[in-house]
Amino acid sequence: MGVVADAWTWLATGANWQGEAGVWHRLGEHLWFSGVSLVLSCLIALPAAFWLGHVGKGGALAVNVSNVGRAVPTLAVLVLLTLTPLGRQGGVPTIVALVLFAVPPLLTNTYLGMREVDRSVVEAARGMGMSGGQLFRTVELPLALPLVMTGLRLAAVQVIATATLAAMAGEGGLGRIITAGFHTYDTAQVFAGALLVGALALLVEGVLAAAGRALAGHGRKRTET
């Protein structure tokens, strides 16, 4: 329990929050990496998965992309990119590595969400003369939304957790608080850093879960009227 108390003391010390290596600056970097990566991943994965799910092709592709993604060590990608000319643009290696990491689960979950939409409902909608676009907007998308949101939530939490690895490649983010504590044998600081990342992940998960519920409620209301 001593570590927890020490970590609390560390967090309560105002000086640890100020300056270049302070919590605020690192938190900003962390949110910037994670946010940009997540938005880019969505821009890449969601349209592709929606399209594949809508036409009902590419199931093997969606699943295999996810499996290949699991096999690629994010740390290796980060370090490789840091050594390329891209590494001189601060933050770019981290963002590229995180996008590569977040696209597979988003793609797979969205595709599965689209495919799990009851086929008889889709057939009925087609029978009513809906065009492909109408079918997607009014039937498939609302029904697939819960699983899509689950995928997004999990991807967001994993991206925030993974962004700490940027510190091992010499980039910024909350991971730097952990590695700095690690190198000075300051367990309290390591614990405080881990707590900060955990709290951030939980907070984002909560916000996205609430957003998902709001969207689902909106969809229900629209179909009822």
Partner 1 sequence: MSGCLAANAWICPEYVSSRAQELTDATVQHVWITVVSVLVGLAVAFPLALLVRARPAFAGPVLGLTTVLYAVPSLAMFSLLLPLFGLSAALVVTGLVLYSLTILVRNILAGLAAVPEETREAARGMGYGPGRLLWEVELPLALPAVLAGVRMATVSTVALTTVGALVDYGGLGTLITSGLKSFFKAQVLTASVLCVLLAVTADALLLALQRLLTPWTRAARARGSAPRRSTSPGSASPGLTSSGSRARRGAAARDSVGKAG
Q: Which residues bind partner 1 (CB under 8 A)?
A: 3, 60, 63-64, 66-67, 69-77, 79-80, 82-83, 101, 104-105, 108-109, 112, 116, 147, 150-151, 154-155, 157-158, 161-162, 164-165, 167-170, 175, 178-179, 181-182, 187, 190-191, 193-194, 197-198, 201
CB nearer partner 1, residue 2 or residue 14: 2
CB nearer partner 1, residue 141 or residue 179: 179
Give me the least distance between CB of 172 and partner 1, in Å please.
Answer: 14
CB nearer partner 1, residue 21 or residue 128: 21
Give me the least distance between CB of 87 and partner 1, in Å please.
Answer: 10
The 10 Å CB-count burial string (b at 16+, else e) for 136-157 is beebbbbbbbbbbbbbbbbbbb
Give me the least distance between CB of 156 and partner 1, in Å please.
Answer: 10
DSSP 149: H
Give me the least distance between CB of 145 and partner 1, in Å please.
Answer: 13
Handedness of CA 188, 172, 35, 111 (dihedral sign): negative
User: Which of these, 108, 113, 107, lies nearest to 41 by C-alpha position?
Assistant: 107
CB nearer partner 1, residue 108 or residue 141: 108
Give me the least distance between CB of 89 and partner 1, in Å please.
Answer: 17
The 10 Å CB-count burial string (b at 16+, else e) for 58-94 is beeebeebbeebeeeebeebbbbbbeeeebeeebbbb
Per-residue tokens: 117:
């939409």
Residues 82, 93: contact at Cβ < 8 Å? yes
